[in-house]
Structure formats: structure tokens, C-alpha cells
Amino acid sequence: MNLWLKSLRRIAYWVLPIVLLLIIFHYIDLTQLKHNLLTTNPWILALGLFVYPITTIIGAVRWNILLSPYNRFDIPLLYTVRHYWIGMATGYFTPGSIGMDIYRVIVIGRKFGNYVLNMAVVLIEKFAALFTCMGLIIILYPFIVPLSSAKMIAEIITFAYIAFITVILIIALILLAHHNNWMQQIAIDVEKLVARKLQSAANRFGFLGPGESISISFRAMIEPVTRPYRLSMLVLLSLAIQIASAIGNHLLFVAVGYDIDFSINLFLSPVFFFIFLMPISVAGLGVREASFIVLYGLFGVPSETALLVSFYSMAGVLLTNSIGALFIYQTRKTVTSV
């Protein structure tokens, strides 16, 4: 049964983009799409695409700040920027871009050690991004309500509240574990669960030797990032990534000549982040286009406009990944010459 389900999931992963794109192009007005394409302002489009590499740099800076307390040596910012970009390029076609996270753990672990702690860094990074995204959705909800009466908006905000409260409860559990016996027991159970998951992942990717186990505690994994400076920088940089992404999408709408409230792009940016994180299609193909049409359609954006903006958004992602590919070429060239 497990083999059958895995095979079905693998087939769906490659077939779903084709099915979604066929459905989209069946209902889309190709004449209007062509008109929007021909009337796009190339200069504003170029400016919008330029924002995509900026979000990558912000992400690399966040990763560098997180890495510092977990490694014995200072890791140069340019080193993390280069390998963050390479990770994006190498992991783009993997489910949920997990290849990017695996690459980052491997490249830092090989050079500086501490594979498990560097795995923890990636998990904390994802955790902080989720916290920031859900918080941003909740804060923007009052500004979004007057712009759309769609029921899906209420479903999105309900999910955001559940995820946000869950994160708050986990943080509270960690903080209160020192002062209450039964809270300490819950914390120990959570610690064991996290350790088992990290142990399984570390064994799977060969980060631990035969018979070697994770000896570091969950509390020790998260303690360095609980310092006020790093915690605030983690949240602020996660927020900056979402704001930059929203600015990029807003410029793409301006380029195609569609007037849209910036708060809509800022509200949907974290929603897209969560959707594209799910490993349901190769490189998000088909899912990206359908998501843009459905979610922007909640605010009255024509399908043809949303589809074209999704194509331009994909171009921004490909531009970013091409920079990563250049870093890969440069690295291989350097190794070959040596």
C-alpha cells in the first residue's frame, strides 16, 4: 500500500502541473492575455524582476545571522550569500524546495561541522517564517475585509489564527518549562519528539556515523536564537522578505497597467509562501498560476492579468536561480582550475 501511494504521489507530482495548465488555458481569454503582454511596460517590469534577487540576499543575511551562534567559527556573509543562492538553484526542482535546505546543511556541515545544529538552524528559520507570515496575515486582515467579501478570505484568516496560536503556545511551553513540573514534562516529551525527527533525518542523509546519536537537547538548540537581538533580527528579516516580495508583485501589476491596492499584495505574499512550500508539483508549475488566478480573483483581478503576473513572477524566480547557476559554474570552474 505504501509503495502504491508513493508511486501515485510521484505521478501526481509531475502530472498535476500539466493538468492545471490545460484547465487554465482552456478558460482563459488568450486575446486579452496577448494584449496585456504587448502593453506591458518593460522598464517597470525590469524593476519588479530586480526585487526578486533582493529577497534572496535578505534570506541569506537571515541565514548568516542564525548560523553565527551555532558554529565555532565566524562564517563570512559572502560565503553564505553564495551558497544560499546555489542552494536555491539546486533545490528549485525538488519537492517543497527541500533540496535547498539539504544543500545548506551539507555545505556548512562539511566546512564547519555540527550537521545537526545546522539542521536546527534551517528548522528555526522555517518556524520563524511561518510565525511572521501568519502574524502578517492577521494584522492585515482588517484592511483586506473591505476589499473582498469572498468566504475564502475568512478561511485563510482562520488557518492563520490556528497556526499563529500554535506557535505562541509552543513558545510559551518553552519559556514556562523552567518554572513548572508538569510543563517540564511536556517540554521533555517535545524535546524527545524533535530529537527523534532530527535523528531520523540525520541518519537518512548521512550526517551521523554508525551508532551515533543526537546528544544535544532541544533547549540547547533554540537557546542561541532566543537572545533579543537575534530573535528580533530573525523576525524583522522574515518580515522584510515578505514586504520585498509584495513590492515585487506590486510592480508587476503596475507594469501590466492594473491598479491594485498594495495591501492585497502584502496580504497574499505570505499566503503564496505557504502554498509554494507544499511539495505538490514540480517547481510549483501550474500551482503558481492557479494560485494567482484564484487568490487575486478574490479581489476582482481578471484571470488574464493574474496569469500574466504569475508568468512574470516565474521569470523573477528563474532570474534568481540563474544567478545561483552562475555561482555553481564559478565554483566548479575554481575547483577544476585548482
User: 69-78: per-residue pLDDT in tens?
Assistant: 777 667 888 9
Q: How far is residue 326's CA from residue 261's CA, in Å, rounded to a whole number?
A: 36
* C-beta pairs of 37-43 under 8 Å, 24+ apart in sequence: 37/308, 39/256, 39/257, 40/255, 40/256, 40/257, 40/308, 40/312, 41/254, 41/255, 41/256, 41/257, 42/255
List, for residues 23-59, the tens digit of each pLDDT value: 888 888 999 999 999 999 999 999 999 999 999 999 9
Q: How far is residue 323's CA from residue 85's CA, in Å, rounded to a whole number?
A: 7
What does the DSSP assignment read for 194-219? HHHHHHHHHHHTT-S-TT----S-HH
How far is Cα of residue 17 from the mean position of the Cα atoms in its chain?
20
Residue at 331: amino acid letter: T
Q: Name, of 68-72, 117-121, 171-175, 184-188, the range with top average pLDDT.
A: 117-121
Q: How far is residue 308's CA from residue 254's CA, in Å, rounded to a whole number?
A: 12
Statement: residue 293 has pLDDT above 90: yes
